[in-house]
Amino acid sequence: MARSALCKHGERKNSRLVAAFDVPLEEGEGPEEFVERWSATLAGVAEHAAGLKIGLPVIASLGLPWTRELLKGLRGKVYLLADVKLADVAHVSLATMRTLKSMGFDGVVAHAFVGLAGGLLEAGEASRKLGLELFSVVAMSHPGAEEVLNKSFDLLVDVALKAGAVGLVVPATMPKYIAAARAKAPEATLISPGVGAQGARPGSAVAAGSDFEIVGRAVFASEDPVRAAKELREALPWSK
């Protein structure tokens, strides 16, 4: 299994931070204003983060042309991960992936629970053809994830690996899944949400075996997102 290009950015920046940007447009705000309002902050955060994970609130508010515009200045400087958590039949996932690729993303997040045939298998093939890396969710970080999704963790990891995902999303809030994913998939790139606002301590997911920690609100809802990213990078160096 090839390493995700996210690791190259991590090594180069000496950072295991993936900053999650999930901020929607404000009421009455136009996409152009939004892009103008956030561009400098995103560029500043990108100096300290290996990756920027851009969420559905942003992509759905901006649409194709303005998301492309938002990403334009960031491409090549930071890994750009589209987190739309794909969970659909193959032809719809494929169409979405083509659009995300044309926006300028390097990778996409998809749920593994759709299974292989007619679902993640074809999404995996498409990701390789498009040059859009596939990360797959195999356990989630919120308490309710334990009710259904996380019960199928082993099956979900098998599906993700058979589909050829380069990376797995495993929760920082439940480090047992990080350790189990690392044992089952030693070469996969593990990324872990739940650090900061959801309670996991910076450094804890990496200590449990993850490659990257995903931090959203603790960066972008802070007074100074660039400083927050800088401090997180110092707590999350690529090599100690």
Residue ranges binding ligand BMP (CB under 6 A): 20, 22, 53, 55, 83, 137, 140-141, 169, 171, 193-194, 196-198, 214-218
Phi, psi of 34 (to 5 degrees): -60, -45
Q: Is 53 assigned a catalytic role?
A: no
**Structure-token pair, residue 47:** 């100096």
Q: What is the identity of the amino acid at 126?
A: A
Closest CB 187 distance from ligand BMP, rounded Å: 21
Catalytic residue among 85, 162, 184, 230: 85
> With respect to ligand BMP, which residue has the nearer C-beta, 147 or 239?
147
Q: By C-beta, is 30 or 143 nearer to ligand BMP?
A: 143
Report whether 9 contacts 193 (CB < 8 A): no
Answer whether 11's CB lies under 8 Å from 237's CB.
no
Nearer to ligand BMP, 87 or 125 (CB): 87
Residue 69 beta carbon to ligand BMP: minimum distance, rounded to whole angstroms: 21
For residue 10, give Cα distances in angstroms to 89, 151, 233, 239. Answer: 33, 31, 10, 10
Compare residues 118 and 143 and give the one whose CB is closer to ligand BMP. 143
Q: Which residues pair with 86 in a beta bridge?
A: 110
CA 82 to CA 58: how far, in whole Å? 10
Catalytic positions: 85
